[in-house]
């Protein structure tokens, strides 16, 4: 079911609670311009308020590119102040994607370069098609990454490897992306959406409130030392025991039946 058709993206719900958002600017290899960022922000805002949403799959239209990068034709004449505002517009959006209560999974088909790699990194994990290519090539344009790449890449992969990719602009294909921990797995291109939906169904079958708490604990803990992060986890663990999902999940386990979670 198509929920909305924007100028530059599609928002579909193939199954209850499962959302697929496709960046669809084929002539620009799905590059991110201001209009596309604004449309994606509308979808993310709607999903953040949707208590029935269980998973977001984010992908690119066609087979050539997930998102080839930010739109250079729009960026080339920006003033320093305009460039900073453009960067922060995307950064705020990517922070909102990270803050979604449901998991976001990037299904990367083709090029995920610059802003496209940064968009994938803002998702909770990445499934790569066999033709996927990742990279932060901004240094080739005389600029650093501006959508969070210098911060998220060394949080996703080994810091030394991240620095190498950020400073050389070298691109990595799917096998290497999996090997260095940038992508979780590689699948055939024609199986990418099916694999994404399989993962989304698995997530949707779990306690939705618990899934939200896992995501909160992970993100909040990244900025803390271990003792503080474990204290956050303990707080959220205790909060779970105020949830009907906890009561149902444990009762179902003891009664040896599948749980019927309510998502609260």
Same structural domain for residues 152 and 222? Answer: no
Same structural domain for residues 41 and 109? Answer: yes
Active site residues: 118, 138
User: Which CATH number fits the domain that encloses residue 226?
Assistant: 1.10.12.10
Q: What does pTM read for this prediction?
A: 0.94
Please, which pLDDT band fits residue 54 given cuts at 50, 70 and 90? very high
Same structural domain for residues 106 and 50? Answer: yes
Same structural domain for residues 39 and 95? Answer: yes
Residue at 24 is within a domain: yes
Residue at 177 is within a domain: yes
Indicate if the pLDDT at residue 209 is higher than 80.
yes
Tokens describing residue 203:
């997530």
d(CA 82, CA 105): 30
Same structural domain for residues 118 and 230? Answer: no
**Domain with 148 in it:** 2-204
Within the chain, strands assigned E span: 2-5, 9-15, 18-23, 55-60, 65-67, 104-108, 111-113, 125-129, 133-135, 172-173, 185-187
User: Which CATH number fits the domain that encloses residue 21?
Assistant: 3.90.226.10
pLDDT tens string 139-189: 999 999 999 999 999 999 999 999 999 999 999 999 999 999 999 999 999
Please count the structural domains in the chain: 2
Residue at 262 is within a domain: no
Coil, helix or strand at residue 177: helix
């Amino acid at each position: 079911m198509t929920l909305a058709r924007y100028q530059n993206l599609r928002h579909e719900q193939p199954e209850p609670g499962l959302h697929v958002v496709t960046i669809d600017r084929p002539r620009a290899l799905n590059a991110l311009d201001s209009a596309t960022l604004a449309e994606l922000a509308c979808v993310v805002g709607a999903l953040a308020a949707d208590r029935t949403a269980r998973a977001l799959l984010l992908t690119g239209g066609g087979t050539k590119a997930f998102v080839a990068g930010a739109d250079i034709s729009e960026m080339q004449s920006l003033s320093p102040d305009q460039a900073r505002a453009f960067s922060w517009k995307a950064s705020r959006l990517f922070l909102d994607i990270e803050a979604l209560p449901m998991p976001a999974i990037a299904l990367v088909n083709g090029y995920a370069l610059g802003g496209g790699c940064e968009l994938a990194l803002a998702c909770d994990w990445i499934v790569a098609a066999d033709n996927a290519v990742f990279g932060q090539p901004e240094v080739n344009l005389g600029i650093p990454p501006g959508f969070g790449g210098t911060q998220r890449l060394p949080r996703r992969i080994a810091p030394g490897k991240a620095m190498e990719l950020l400073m050389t602009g070298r691109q990595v294909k799917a096998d290497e992306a999996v090997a260095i921990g940038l992508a979780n797995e590689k699948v055939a291109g024609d199986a990418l959406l099916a694999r994404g939906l399989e993962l989304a169904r698995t997530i949707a079958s779990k306690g939705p409130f618990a899934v939200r708490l896992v995501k909160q604990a992970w993100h909040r803990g990244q900025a803390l030392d271990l003792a503080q992060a474990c204290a956050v986890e303990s707080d959220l663990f205790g909060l779970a025991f105020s949830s009907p999902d906890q009561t149902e999940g444990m009762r179902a386990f003891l009664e040896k039946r599948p749980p019927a979670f309510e998502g609260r």
